[in-house]
Amino acid sequence: MRGGDDGARTAEDGQQAASPASAVDRTSAAVGRPLDAVAAALVVVLCLSWGFNQVAVKLALPEIPPLIQAAFRSTFGALIVVAWARARGVKLMEPDGSLGPGVIAGVLFGLEFLLI
């Protein structure tokens, strides 16, 4: 059996190469399903909030430094996560061995804002 120059099987091999589209069709059929109204609304709200964030940063830039803006966004985001976790009964500070790696990830993420 011979392969093509790229190592893929060719029609000369006696087997037809699967088209990329057929592979995608099989994959999407297995996991794809239409979004319900709640999921579609959530996508729209997230896109609007992410887009508005950039506008808000540009509007606030003359009066509020970027580092303070980042601190406000991070604090507000943390408060939302804590409120969501409490509402759902999720324990955020349960000892499971992830504190050390989490602190390291947080310090590296925060370092990004210090280097703005």
Q: How far is CA 105 from CA 80, 97, 99, 110, 111, in A?
A: 20, 14, 10, 9, 10
Q: pTM to 2 decimals?
A: 0.48
pLDDT tens profile 33-61? 888 999 999 999 999 988 998 898 899 99
Residue 71 lies in a domain: yes
Residue 8 lies in a domain: no
Residue 101 lies in a domain: yes
Helices 66-88, 99-114: crossing angle, 10 deg rounding:
150
pLDDT tens profile 53-100? 889 889 999 999 988 998 998 899 999 999 999 999 988 888 888 889
Residue 58 lies in a domain: yes
Residue 14 lies in a domain: no
Domain carrying residue 72: 37-114
Count of domains in the chain?
A: 1
Residue 63 lies in a domain: yes
Query: Which alpha helices (H) appear in 1-116, and where do they start and end?
Result: 20-31, 37-60, 66-88, 99-114
